[in-house]
Amino acid sequence: MGIYQIKNKVNGKMLIGSSVNLPAILNRFKAELKIGSHRNIVLQKEWQQFGPEMFEFKELELLEPVDDPTYDPAEDLHVLEELWIEKLSPFGDKGYNKPPKPGD
């Protein structure tokens, strides 16, 4: 589990997100982009425009599991994701993430 990045190698735009299963989410996004059904319309459009070879999928940070059956990683993943989003500002011309709403 951890933070992932999908980066357009042509224009540098990126999508930052988190998941409890990084390989699964990255495989799912690749499949959705390939068949044209990814929910991020701009990312999907640029995938079709530039081609899959112009996109890089990588893990930015891993969150080690805690040896506690009651542990819920959701809050830790959210905090890590917010830190990466703040660091990289993947909005507008720099990315595919939606900018935070005022007060978020």
Domain of 78: which CATH number? 3.40.1440.10
Q: Is residue 24 part of a domain?
A: yes
Q: Which of helix, strand or coil describes residue 54?
A: helix
Tell me the per-residue pLDDT of 35-81, one tens digit each, with 9 for 90 and over: 999 999 999 999 999 999 999 999 999 999 888 889 899 999 999 99
Q: Which domain holds residue 77?
A: 2-94
- Stretch 81-94: mean pLDDT, rounded? 96
Q: Is residue 80 part of a domain?
A: yes
Q: How many domains does the chain have?
A: 1
Q: Is residue 89 part of a domain?
A: yes
Give the integer Cα–Cα distance in Å for 18 and 93.
Answer: 21
Sheet of 14-19: strand order equals: 14-19, 2-8, 55-62
Q: Is residue 100 part of a domain?
A: no
**From residue 10, how far is each of 13, 15, 42, 55, 81 by CA, in Å?**
8, 14, 14, 8, 24
Q: How confident is the model at residue 102 (pLDDT cuts 50, 70, 90)?
A: confident
Look up the pTM and report it: 0.91
